[in-house]
Chains A and B, each alone.
Chain A
Amino acid sequence: DTAVSQTPKYLVTQMGNDKSIKCEQNLGHDTMYWYKQDSKKFLKIMFSYNNKELIINETVPNRFSPKSPDKAHLNLHINSLELGDSAVYFCASSKGAANTEAFFGQGTRLTVV
Chain B
Amino acid sequence: AQSVTQLDSQVPVFEEAPVELRCNYSSSVSVYLFWYVQYPNQGLQLLLKYLSGSTLVESINGFEAEFNKSQTSFHLRKPSVHISDTAEYFCAVSLPGGYQKVTFGTGTKLQVIP
User: Which residues of chain A have a CB within 8 Å of any CB of chain B?
Assistant: 4, 31, 40-45, 48, 50, 55-56, 58, 90, 92, 96-107
Contacts and interface: CB of A to CB of B under 8 A. Distances in A.
B98 A96 contact: yes
Contacts, number: 64
A106 B41 contact: yes
A4 B100 contact: no
Residue with the greatest number of chain B CB neighbours at <10 A, chosen from A48, A98, A107: A98
Given A44-B104, A97-B99, A104 B45 contact: yes
B88 A102 contact: no
A73 B51 CA distance: 28
With most chain A CB atoms within 10 A of its CB, the pick from B43, B46, B101, B107 is: B43
B43 A92 contact: yes
Interface of B: 32, 41-46, 49, 51, 88, 90, 94-104, 106-107
Given A101-B46, A104-B44, 15 more contacts: A48-B99, A56-B101, A58-B101, A90-B43, A92-B43, A97-B99, A98-B100, A98-B101, A99-B94, A99-B95, A99-B97, A100-B49, A106-B41, A106-B42, A107-B42
Secondary structure call for the B interface: loop
14 contacts: A41-B107, A44-B104, A48-B101, A90-B43, A96-B99, A97-B100, A99-B96, A99-B97, A102-B102, A104-B43, A104-B45, A106-B41, A107-B42, A107-B43
